[in-house]
Structure 1
């Protein structure tokens, strides 16, 4: 048995020496021939694994690993991890790569790529940082590290972890290759720098078109994803005509990646100038094939696409189906939550249950949903918005306060994170401001600041702390000022150059503890002369700024005598605005803007005109009183005498 195995190994080794590195089909045939003789031959199994990987038959590779057992997995850990990554199972690939000490730089690359695909961008950035810090083994590896690191930086920005990105701005070396220019463009887009992103995308297209070692087919394959991204940027910039032109010329069927093809169709729907038929848009949205596991969208893309799908169903009036599907998704998530994705879908769920109604009709349909899911933040905010639209601010405040009370009673960390979320605190403070309840606003902000100050190790919302400190400064009580000093001291410790923290700290210490005001802290404030250098007091007075009476009296005393003041030049009226019979020598009537009956020189003509004017003046006879007097004189129908009846014409007697 051992002699047979040795002979097989020698013949396979001889074959490997005779073949070329690109002849993977021959490798596969030779390995299969040896495995027919001995199914447990690890050497032949390993050769077959490498051949299948080069032929991009990843599912066959994984089946071979499962049939080969632990021996093959232990011998070819690098190949196994890479096969898992390429087959769309990045989490398993990360697990193997992390627990393997051998494998060298190759295993590090697999770990970084698998972590990137598993959306663990922080880990991927760290691995690439380690690989870049060491001397590269091959020349091509340097380019791969630069390109892949740029892609990771862009994804960190999309994931809200931009502070971990290696590059925050495009560099000169990013303009040398179309891949690096494209990654730099994606980074700019993720930061909201759309104008710069548009320029970088065009640069990437130009560099790709200038390549001489690529065929036209290969160039088009590289250009199509860039064009799809460019359409998105143009739509966001409001350049709809340019976006429509690109969509018209875009060969959708030639986009190889199905995930990118689907994005292209969605962007083409969004780029339409006219509101399309929602049923047709819904059909186009679902016209692309479903991407395989190896070509899935990232989570931030999937979230937007899911919302787009639900919106199209809402516009297509598929209310029952949408209500059921969104509720299934919501119940699968942990809530209460501050996740924008989950809460946005909760809003769509409320709209579906209300059949897209608004006002009181929508409230009648959505309030029972909130009773079923009392911790659903999306439904909560929807109801508050409807209350505000119907001018029922008191009900909105009461609803949010009761929601906070429930979370306080729960007391878990996840519930308290939602309870003191900056967005919800800001909503309640805004509602308090509408009602003029400043003390309640300060109290709520102080509670939130106190909670987040106890969690300094986490991502503390600085904007909330600044708002709380500013509000507490307006309280003017020792307790409020002391708390404001603590907040601004903490902010100043984190960032000594923050002007808001410096100003707040000085304002708080000036009243509570002046001894802590050192010269360095005071000198950090901008001088008053610089702050008021562009302010003109005279212009403010002319604009209508009120000034105290004492100051106004002093100013009047300082003003020159009337005879010394030069009269203001009369404004010259353009000839086109003058009437045809206008005489510049004749003085214009100062009461020409008043109705004729209101002018001082108006004298009505005739008896009726004089009586009408007399009734309009103060003290004149009222019409109703005249009628009453006339009725008494003629002996009206009620009470005493009877009015005389007029006789009819002719000789007959009246009745």
Structure 2
């Protein structure tokens, strides 16, 4: 009976078309009723379920049927795991399979797991094994990996920042290049690339009208994001009105588009904004967003909760996230939960009241990085830089005493190091700043894949000191950077400068990569520099410029009008035709035309023989004594006896 059912199933499969998946599924189920262990019928059922996009049913059926079927349908099982969101299981299973299709499933799973280095390696291997029908798709997927690496901050610095010409020939590659530009903050270039992607999508002959409408939704949602960042509010509103959300087949894309559209609307009532945000599309668990998408969405949600005064709910939800992280963590999810947990405890307050509300939480979580950064920001806003420095330094000291390698990596994390360096710079502590950079550089030079920006800043700072030990440290740093970035001009310049004592001939090849001095100084007018004289400081220039603006002369063409004086300020006998007396400001007795009344002598007044304020007449034989010089007090002012009145 089982053999007859299997033969009838084979006959049905021969007569069926590729679209008769329901009939194939029914036939396989009938065959399995007679023999549950019919491997051929089981395989057919798995394929039919996948064709009908019933991925959860396929996974359940495979796992219930046993290891024999799992081994038979390994590729189908890996694909079903990928489609149901079990990405780790899909990547692990597909990596053990030998089929080319398994490499595709593993690459897609690693991409969703945000492992761009492994994904890029897989796609390079697939492209090396040339299959003409796959080359276009592989090129598109590779460009998506490069964009993801930019978002995650792990992009290869050797990859050119400007898109290649081939990227502008297809809307998928143009869209991925635009995403990479957004990740780098190059929004003007992203706007151009997205417009290009929209044009290419509309002009595509390989897509139906429905497919074009589906592909245009993510492109326009990304355009809306760029326009909002560029401050083009009117253009963003016009674009938002034209986005047809119902045409987006992908629910995560529809969710992101809805949130971006909400940002263009002006909703003054925070409770209405909260309701509108929570009315957007719900994303199924299998359709997992990337971290760089989840973080802003969660941030928007918690911000609206704060504005709606849902403090207890925020504290409850974020506390669960913080409790799940047993060790010190700087992951984006944990930091976000810590930030909003502190804001909820402060009840949206700032200043000293907010600090007093958050400090008890620091006692229970002394190594909470997000909490420490929140307090640092509050201290800085209040002008208390000293407390901010002491808080970060004490946290770093605790990490330095730890023997856990992950905590040592957190201690020298570039972001946290830059926070302390910024605080030192705010206080003018250059020696502390250089020491911190040198300490961080000494740690990272012994580790693989060190942060290049941190090493470059440390090497440049050490070169400025000009001491022998610092120059040696800078030489080691730039040697490490030169291995990673052999063609980076800033790295080459630092490498040559730190090794200058060894002679120029040894680095002639590196020097040739730098821009020549003649090219750098070709547009400089030496005569103009000489005539300009010694350059003034920025402060002196600002004062001079301020003086010019305040004492700007009136143009020649503008006629100056005489200021009108009110009559109440004029004397009673004022005659505007009469010239005013030039000596009217002098006392009457000191005016040239003054005549003393009879019986009084005027000659002695203001005469040259008076001693106060004039030359001493030596014929008077007046003995003069030198007056004592004033003695400066500690405060710089002469001491006087205070009266008993007001102080």
TM-score normalised over the length of structure 1: 0.77
- Mapped partners of 2:525, 2:379: distance in 1: 42
User: SS where residue 286 of structure 2 aligns?
Assistant: helix
- Mapped partners of 1:237, 1:347: distance in 2: 27
> Which piece of structure 1 moves more, 185-194 or 401-410?
185-194
1:238 maps to which residue?
Answer: 231
**Map of 1:57-136 to 2, 5 A cutoff?**
57-101=54-98, 104-136=99-131
User: Pick from 558, 566, 572: which aligns with 1:577?
Assistant: 558
User: SS where residue 88 of structure 1 aligns?
Assistant: coil
The 3 A distance-change label for structure 1 pair 67 and 324 is closer
2:444 maps to which residue?
Answer: 452
Does residue 363 (structure 1) correspond to residue 355 (structure 2)? The answer is: yes
- Mapped partners of 1:140, 1:509: distance in 2: 52
CA deviations over 1:235-282 (Å, ceiling 9, x no partner): 12221111111212323344332212221221122223x463221111
The 3 A distance-change label for structure 1 pair 609 and 285 is farther
User: SS where residue 200 of structure 1 aligns?
Assistant: helix
1:379 maps to which residue?
Answer: 371
| Contiguous gaps of at least 5 residues in structure 2 | 538-551, 564-580, 592-611, 614-647
User: SS where residue 276 of structure 1 aligns?
Assistant: coil
The 3 A distance-change label for structure 1 pair 166 and 51 is farther
- Mapped partners of 1:186, 1:158: distance in 2: 8
- Answer whether contact 1:343 1:377 (CA < 8 A) is retained: yes
User: Pick from 325, 333, 336: which aligns with 1:333?
Assistant: 325
> Which piece of structure 1 moves more, 29-38 or 141-150?
141-150
- Answer whether contact 2:267 2:273 (CA < 8 A) is retained: no
Provide the alpha-carbon RMSD of the alignment: 3.3
- Mapped partners of 2:6, 2:136: distance in 1: 38
Structure 1 residue 205: deviation in Å?
A: 2.4
Structure 1 residue 538: deviation in Å?
A: 5.1
CA deviations over 1:3-44 (Å, ceiling 9, x no partner): x33332222222222222322222122222222222221111
- Answer whether contact 1:265 1:284 (CA < 8 A) is retained: no
The 3 A distance-change label for structure 1 pair 47 and 407 is same
The 3 A distance-change label for structure 1 pair 123 and 439 is closer
- Mapped partners of 1:256, 1:165: distance in 2: 36
User: Pick from 180, 196, 202: which aligns with 1:187?
Assistant: 180
- Mapped partners of 1:191, 1:607: distance in 2: 79
- Mapped partners of 2:220, 2:326: distance in 1: 38
User: Pick from 488, 491, 496: which aligns with 2:481?
Assistant: 491
User: Pick from 53, 58, 73: which aligns with 1:56?
Assistant: 53
User: SS where residue 391 of structure 1 aligns?
Assistant: coil
CA deviations over 1:211-230 (Å, ceiling 9, x no partner): 45655434322222222121
- Answer whether contact 2:157 2:485 (CA < 8 A) is retained: no
The 3 A distance-change label for structure 1 pair 334 and 158 is farther
Structure 1 residue 62: deviation in Å?
A: 1.9
Structure 1 residue 505: deviation in Å?
A: 5.2
The 3 A distance-change label for structure 1 pair 43 and 164 is farther
- Mapped partners of 1:26, 1:493: distance in 2: 62
User: Pick from 144, 149, 154: which aligns with 2:147?
Assistant: 154
1:551 maps to which residue?
Answer: none
User: Pick from 468, 493, 500: which aligns with 2:458?
Assistant: 468
1:645 maps to which residue?
Answer: none
1:409 maps to which residue?
Answer: 401
| Contiguous gaps of at least 5 residues in structure 1 | 548-570, 583-599, 611-618, 621-655
- Mapped partners of 1:165, 1:536: distance in 2: 37
The 3 A distance-change label for structure 1 pair 332 and 535 is farther
- Answer whether contact 2:2 2:31 (CA < 8 A) is retained: no
2:191 maps to which residue?
Answer: 198
User: Pick from 290, 296, 299: which aligns with 2:288?
Assistant: 296
- Answer whether contact 1:157 1:187 (CA < 8 A) is retained: yes
